[in-house]
Every structure is written in structure tokens, then in C-alpha cells.
Amino acid sequence: MNPATASPSIMVVDDTPANLRLLDELLRQQGYQVRLFPRGALALKAAAAHPPSLILLDIMMPEMDGFEVCRQLKANPSLKDIPVIFISALADTDNKLKAFAQGGMDYVTKPFQEGEVLARVRTHLALYAMQQAQARQKADLEQLVNERTADLLRAQQVAHIGSWKLDLRTQALSWSPETYRLFGVPEGTPLTLNDFVDKVHPDDQGKVAHHWTLALQGQPYDVEHRIAPPAGAAWVRQRAEFAFDTDGQPHTAWGTTQDISEIKAHQAQVDFMTHHDVLTGLPNRAQFLDLLRVCMANSSTLQTQLAVAYIDMDGFAAINAQFGREAGNQLIVQLGQRLAQSVRDRQYLARIGGDEFAVVLTGLKNADDYLIPVQRMLAAVSKPLNLHGTTAQVTASIGVSQYPQSDDMEAEQLLRQADQAMYLAKLAGKNRHHVFDPMKDESTRERFMHIEEVRQGLMQGEMCLYYQPKVWLTSGKVVGFEALIRWQHPQRGLVLPGQFIPLLEQHPLAIQVGNWVIETALAQLARWNAEGLRTGLSVNIESLQLQDPDFVPRLARQLADQPSVEANQLELEILETGALDNMAHVSRLIAQLHGMGVACALDDFGTGYSSLTFLKQLAAQTIKIDQSFVHGMLDDTEHASIVNSVLGLARSFDRHTLAEGVETEAHGQMLVELGCEMAQGYTIARPMPAEAVPAWLAQWHPPPSWQTTSALEAGDVPLLMGEVEHRAWMKATQARLAGQQGTPTPHSHDTCRLGHWLDKPTTRQRYGHLSAFQTLVQQHSTLHALGAQLLQQATASGPEAGHPAHQHGLDNPDTASAWHHLQAQSAELIASLQSLRKSDEEPLSISSAG
């Protein structure tokens, strides 16, 4: 095509040379470029090579007439728009019509008028130029549109946003390529609204339909939904605008489809992270409590039980310290996997703290159905773990709480109970489980309430120590003192340890209090040493202190801090019951302390069901006989026997003995006779503040009877026991006479143990030759006869026999006088018994005296 600035080129085709010349001259004068062709075929060829702006074409020519030339031109797409003006001598209408039919633009008859030819040429050239310009413009526009569309599509692809249009009347739907891709449908697939509906994920169809309905009523359409697989995107957000006709009927919707899969995945991740533990991927505490709430509700509806197991790794802090935090984390992951493998259907595991996991066990039928899963978990944890090629082993302590309990309760509370039970499982020795007992919960709560107070008291220096002497019975020599804690409470006054020490049982505060006691006691010893008062001091140790791994090293430091104090001035009193809990450990500890020169005593001995093995294993140097037995020993045969047995046991194992709670001279005397070495008690001194000690020491002297009394030979012990038995009998008789209900019937002569002993051949063999023995036998039977008579008399004169109430039992003058008589007889019997023990006349042989 010629550039618009160049002059138009015109092709003239005519077999008449004169015509050619004429036209050539005419057109050139007008400034056109002219090419002349005498034959049609030549002209076609040249036109194809260089298309002209216009062709003047003769019709009648040899070889190919003008019609044919025109037909061929019009058949060529690149030439068809070139205007053709026929110039012919054929002036009839038929030929003219034929010429137009062939695509000719115009028709000029020969001989032509120059002006006419020129006018027509100009007109058609102008038309053609306009046409060309339009075509160019159209092509430019098309190109622009194509470019813009391509840009848009590319942008859609980048943004993962597709577009669509729906004709609501025909249901015809069109998607952009990106929409096709997002929906996972091959591009170009014909669509209707139904195809779109089918691609919405079945679970979201309800939601989408709801929004669609609202949109048809004029509300904005904006909905997120999943796409039914196979899909290009998991989640999309659809937004659309609807166009309405004048009747308010929607007719078209234009929308976008945005891929929000990534946002959704991210959201899900955030969701997961707020409900799960990042390290193990297990549910976290918050999620666990949600779950527990649901399980508790279900359990109420289904009438089943559930249990919560609170799992805490034993000594995990040490593992972290030894291997480092990173390795500790790896172990936690492994432990989490182990636990996850050990849980079954309807058991839900979570990580609720550093080394703490929890499991809900649901659908339990029996109260102890938790047992098997709990044991499985303990076993799962304790299997060796792999840590960078080395193995590590961990155990767990598990606390279990059960639901339902009597009251309504919260999930948090149930978890807290399991936590408390876990704590007790740890204290009981770890690698085990403990079940929360709701009955003991009250006391636990109480305990937590008071413990804070005790802590405050300790911090504010309200604690102090009192000292109670311990003496050798026969010599009266002071062995040392026992330090006993007191709480000088600002409101309540002096509080005794019985009111707060038991609260601390198994609470870490016990260790703090214990340390304070040891430090204070050692400081007191140092002060006494400085004053020239060198003595021993014993302190009471809680069993929790013994479990503290730092106990011995710390004690060594505490001793080192008081260089004037020697280790053997200190004695630790360990409760027999506390030692029983963890024999092996306490036994090692005592040996260790022994090695340091610190002695140990077993406190409150006799209350803990100790066995011979126990005593053999614990190398405590001293046994302190519990005061409850000492108190009763004078007139209670059981207690007297226990004291006697403990003393025998101590002798066999070569241990020192100390009797606690010696309240009277008589107690001390009997203890001397039974062979007890030391004593502590009110008759010697009450616990006193340190300042009172020197004054007490200055005035102390033991009762003379303790020095004059000596230990009995084993064979004579039954005489002493006989005395106890007799006192017991007197006590029972008196109680009966006083009409006390529920007192045991005093032994008759036949059931009386003293009677049995008196009758024994060995007894008769040993004492039979002594006159005092004969008297004794006589006194014994007289006493029983009197006693029986008295009781009968008293019963007969009881209120039910019609006597006035004030005359009942000992109020009855007859009975009272008979009772006094009996008492006198009793004193004589006791004197006989004692005279036999102290008899200068030798008993015959020392044989077993049963």
C-alpha cells in the first residue's frame, strides 16, 4: 500500500495503444503515477507485485477480457479492495451490470469525457483512501484490545483471580482462562450455571446457594468456598455484581474468582498453632481443656466414667542440664511419640507443659479401668530413648483424677486434681501413679491455705527453737538437748509444732524450714561451745528433707560454717515412719551421715510397724521409744510389753535407747528396771528457750530412786509385768465400780496373766522356795476373790436393782469401803512383787519366765 503522502498510483489496462497514451497523459498531468498494460494477465501480475490505488480497466481485450481480470482481482484477498473503474465502448446496461457484478466500482463509456474520468478517479481514490484508513484504524484497535486482553489475562494469572460473566436469562456462562484453571476445568469447555454449581465443594454448596439467593435480591455477592476436586485451587473467594432490568429482574452477573488457598492454609496453620504444641504437634493445654470439657459432658450423657492422667517426667531438669535444652526437646518429642503410640481409641493426649503431658481416658466402665492405660504409659516412657547415638532413660510420675465425683466440677479442677496426685506419686518414689482421693481434698486445700502463713512466719523470723534435755537415767548426766521448733505467732502466741509441722508434710517448704532448724541449732551449739557448755543437740528431720539430693552436701556446708561445732555434737532424729517409706535410701543416708560423724536416732519408734530387718538395715545409733507407749506402760500391759520388746530389740542390735515422754519419777524407775538408758520428758524438764538452759543445768539432779534402782534380770521382768497387769486390773475394777460403760471386765483369777505366771512350773521352780512368793500367791487369790465379790455387790446394788442413783457403785458407802480394803490389799501385793525382785534371797535359776 502506498504511503498517504506519495501520489496515488493508477494502473491502466487497455489493448488500444491510443487509449493508453491518452489516459497516461491525462492522469500524469494530475500528478498521478501511471502504469500502462495492454493485456489483462500482465496487469494482474504487476498488481500482485505492487498493488495500485486504482485500476482503469477496458472490457474488450484479447486473451482475457476486463470482466475476467476484475473477477481474478476480487478473488485475491490482498487486491480485492482496490477500486476498479471500467472504461468501455460497450454502453449497454447488461454489460454495465455485469461489470458491477464482477466488483467494478464504476463504469465510464468510451469515448470518455476527460473531466468525467478525472472526477470519478478522484472520488474513488478518496473513498479508497478513507477505507484504507478505517481498516488500519480497526487493525490498530484490534491489536490494542488484544494486547490489553492478554495483559489482563496475564494479570489474572499472576493474581490468581479469574473472571466470569453469567447471562441469567440464558444461563450462558463464560469464564476467563484463569477461572477455568482455578476450577480445574479444561479451558474452552462450554459452560452453564449448572457447571459452576457442580464445581462447588459439596460441603459448601449450602452456603454458596444462600449467598446467591441474597445476591439475586440485590445484596453484594461475596462468598468463600472450596472447589470439588479435581481443582486448580482448594479455596476461592467469589465476588460479583448483578445487573437488573427495569422490572428489578437480574439479567447479568459479572464476577471474579480469587484463589485464597494460601490464605486459608496460613489461617489453618495459625489455628493449629494456637491449639497445638509446636514442638510435638500435640494439642496444647487450652485445647486439652476444651476437649476435656466435651468429654466430661459426654460422660454425663452416656453415663460412663472418665479419668485424667497427668504425666510428668521424673528428673527432667537434670536431663536438660546434662544434655542441653535442644537434646531435652528431642527427648520430649520422642516421649510424645511414645505416649501417642500408647494411647488407644477414645484416649486423648496433649502436651500441657514443659515435660508434662495429659491424657483423657473416656468411656470407662469400672472405677479402676484407668489402670491398664496408665501402666502402659509408664512402660512406654521408661523404655530407653535414643539421643545422638547414646541412650537415655526417663521415668514418669502419673497422677490420676476421676470423673464424675460427687460435685459438679470444672475441667480445670479435674486437671488440677490429677496434677496434685502426680505430685504425690513423685513423693512416693516416682515412676508410679497415684490416684487423687476427693475425700482428702479438703485437707489438701487446708494445707495450701496454711502453708503460705508458715512461709510468711519463717520469712519474718517468727520461728524459734526450744531445747529439751535428754539425760542418762541412772546417772542423771545430761546427754544433750533436742531442738523443738516453736512459732511465735503475732496473733496466736506460741504455736506448737504439732499445729504446723504436719501441714508441711511432703511440701517443699518443709525443706526450707528444716534448713532453718539445722542452721539455728548449729548456731546455738556454737554459742554454747563458746560459753564452755559443750553438749549435744538433736534436730528433727522431715522425710522430705531426706529425699532432697542436696541434703548431705548442704549439711556438710552448714557444719563447715560453724567451725567450733564438731559433727558428733549433732544428731538427726528421723521419724521411724518416714524411714519406712524409703528404706534403701534412708539406710544409705544414715551410713553417709555416720561417715561424716553425725549420729542418727529413730524417732517415735514403735509407731511404724518396724520389723527386725528394718532395724538391721538402718544403722541409727539411738532408738527413741515413742511417748505414747511410755505414758501407758505403768498400767497397760500392752504398752509395757511394747516398751520391753523395743528395749530387747535395741539390746540385740546394740543400739542406745531413749524413752520419750517420761512424765513421772515412776516412769523413769520402771524404765531403769527394763534397762532403758536415757530419758526425755516433763519430769526432767519441759522444752525451754536457750536462755533458760544454764539455770536449768545448774539446778538439775535426777530423782534419787533412779539411781537406786537397777535393771532387772531378764527372769525377773515378768514380776514387773505382773505388777503392771495388776495395776491394769485395779484400774479396770475401779472403772467398773464407777459404772463406766465400755470398760473391759477385769480378768478373773483364771484368765489373769499374773495368775498364769504364778502357776507356771518354771516360776515355782525359781521362786517357790521363797516365803515372799508364798505370800504373793495367797495375796493374789484373795484379791481376785475380793474383787469378784465387790463387782457382784456393786452390780446387785446398781440403779437397775432399785437403789437410788447416788448410792450406785463407789458412791455406795459399803462398796467404797470394800474398794479401800481392796486398794490396801493391792498395795501389799505390789510390795510382795517388788520384794521378790529385790529379794536378797537368791532366786534358784534363771530360766525362761514366759
Question: Would you tell me which residues interact with ligand C2E (CB under 6 A)?
Answer: 468, 484-485, 496-498, 501, 517, 540, 542, 573, 603-604, 627, 660-663, 680-682, 687
Distance, in Å, from the CA atom of 290 to the CA atom of 299, rounded to the nearest integer, reads: 14
- 826: how many CB neighbours lie within 10 A of its CB? 19
DSSP letter for each residue of 708-735: H--PPPGGGHHHHHHHHHHHHHHHHHHH
Which of the stretches 27-35, 407-415, 539-547, 561-569 binds Mg ion when contact is defined by CB under 5 A? Answer: 539-547
Q: Considering the complex, what minimum distance in angstroms separates the CB of residue 501 from Mg ion?
A: 11
What span, in angstroms and rounded, lies between the C-alpha atoms of 217 and 214?
5
User: Which of 296/511 has CB closer to ligand C2E?
Assistant: 511
Closest residue by Cα to residue 521 from 496, 547, 541: 541
Per the rule left: phi > 0, alpha: psi between -120 and 50, beta: everything else, 506 is left
Of 282 and 501, the one with the shorter C-beta distance to ligand C2E is: 501
Which strand (E) or helix (H) includes residue 226?
strand 221-226
Could you tell me the smallest distance in angstroms from the CB atom of residue 457 to Mg ion? 21
Stretch (H or E) spanning 537: strand 536-541
| Residue 493 binding result from ligand C2E, Mg ion, none, given CB thresholds of 5 to 8 Å by partner type | none
Helices 316-323 + 325-342 axis angle, to 10: 140
Total of residues contacting Mg ion (CB under 5 A): 5
Query: Which residues have a Cβ under 8 Å from the Cβ of 206 and sit 6 or more positions away?
Result: none
Burial tier of 121 (Cβ tally within 10 Å: 0-12, 13-18, 19+): buried
Taking the C-alpha atoms of residue 610 and residue 653, their distance in angstroms, rounded to an integer, is 14
Residue 603 interacts with Mg ion (CB under 5 A)? yes
Question: Which one, 576 or 716, has the nearer CB to ligand C2E?
Answer: 576
Closer to ligand C2E by CB, 571 or 604: give it. Answer: 604
The residue (of 106 and 576) whose beta carbon lies closer to ligand C2E is 576
Asked if 370 and 360 touch (Cβ cutoff 8 Å), the reply is: no
Retrieve residue 344's grid coordinates: 488407644
**Residue 660 CB, nearest approach to Mg ion (Å):** 5
| Nearest-approach distance from CB 498 to ligand C2E, in angstroms | 5
| Residues 6+ away with beta carbon under 8 Å from 207 | 223, 225
- Decide whether 660 or 723 has the Cβ nearer to Mg ion: 660
Min dist CB 304 to Mg ion, Å, is 49
Cell match 459399803: residue?
A: 814
Amino acid at 340: A
16, burial (CB in 10 Å: exposed 0-12, middle 13-18, buried 19+) = middle
DSSP 3-state percent helix, strand, coil across the chain (nearest 5): 50, 20, 30
Q: Are 288 and 350 in contact (CB under 8 A)?
A: yes
Return d(Cα 451, Cα 438) in angstroms, integer.
20
Contacting range for Mg ion; rule: CB under 5 A; set: 297-305, 501-509, 573-581, 754-762: 573-581
Asked whether 673 and 659 are in contact (CB, 8 A), the reply is no
In the complex, residue closest to Mg ion by CB: 573
Instruction: Report, in Å, the least distance between residue 533 CB and ligand C2E.
Output: 21
Instruction: Select the binding partner of residue 38 from Mg ion, ligand C2E, none (C-beta < 5 to 8 A, by kind).
Output: none
Q: Helix count (H) and strand count (E) of the chain?
A: 32, 28
Among 419, 604, 716, 723, binds Mg ion (CB under 5 A): 604
**319 or 544: CB nearest ligand C2E:** 544
Q: How far is the CB of 847 from ligand C2E (least distance, A)?
A: 37
Residues from 74 through 113 that contact Mg ion (CB under 5 A): none
What is the nearest approach in angstroms of ligand C2E to the Cβ of residue 830? Answer: 24
Q: Which of the choices Mg ion, ligand C2E, none does residue 469 contact, using the CB cut-off of 5 to 8 A by kind?
A: none
| Interacting span for Mg ion (CB under 5 A) from 155-163, 557-565, 596-604, 806-814 | 596-604
Nearer to Mg ion, 538 or 815 (CB): 538
For residue 237, report the phi and psi dihedrals to the nearest 5 degrees. -115, 125
- Which of residues 573, 673, 677, 723 is near Mg ion by CB under 5 A? 573
Closest CB 685 distance from ligand C2E, rounded Å:
8
Q: Which is nearer to ligand C2E, 255 or 687 (CB)?
A: 687
Whose Cβ is closer to ligand C2E: residue 209's or residue 494's? 494
Q: Residue 636 binds what, of ligand C2E, Mg ion, none (CB under 5 to 8 Å, by partner type)?
A: none
CB closer to ligand C2E out of 309 and 518: 518
Instruction: Answer whether 504's CB lies under 8 Å from 454's CB.
Output: yes
* Residue 458 to residue 329: CA distance in whole angstroms: 38
CA distance 615 to 763: 32
| Residue of minimal Cβ distance to ligand C2E | 681
In the complex, minimum distance from the CB of residue 488 to Mg ion, in angstroms, rounded to a whole number: 20
What letter does residue 749 receive in the DSSP assignment?
Answer: T
Nearer to Mg ion, 121 or 473 (CB): 473
Choose between 163 and 627: whose C-beta lies nearer to ligand C2E.
627
Site string for Mg ion, 629-668 (x = CB under 5 A): -------------------------------x--------
Choose the one of ligand C2E, Mg ion, none that binds residue 637, judging by a C-beta under 5 to 8 angstroms depending on kind: none
CB of 709 vs Mg ion, minimal distance in Å: 24
Q: Residue 70: how many CA atoms within 13 Å on its side-chain side?
A: 26
Out of 540, 779, 812, 826, point to the residue binding Mg ion (CB under 5 A): 540
DSSP 3-state assignment of 645? Answer: helix
**H/E run at residue 258:** strand 250-259
Residue 663 touches which of ligand C2E, Mg ion, none (CB < 5 to 8 A by kind)? ligand C2E
Q: How far is the CB of 608 from Mg ion (least distance, A)?
A: 12
> By the criterion CB under 5 A, which residues form the site for Mg ion?
540, 573, 603-604, 660
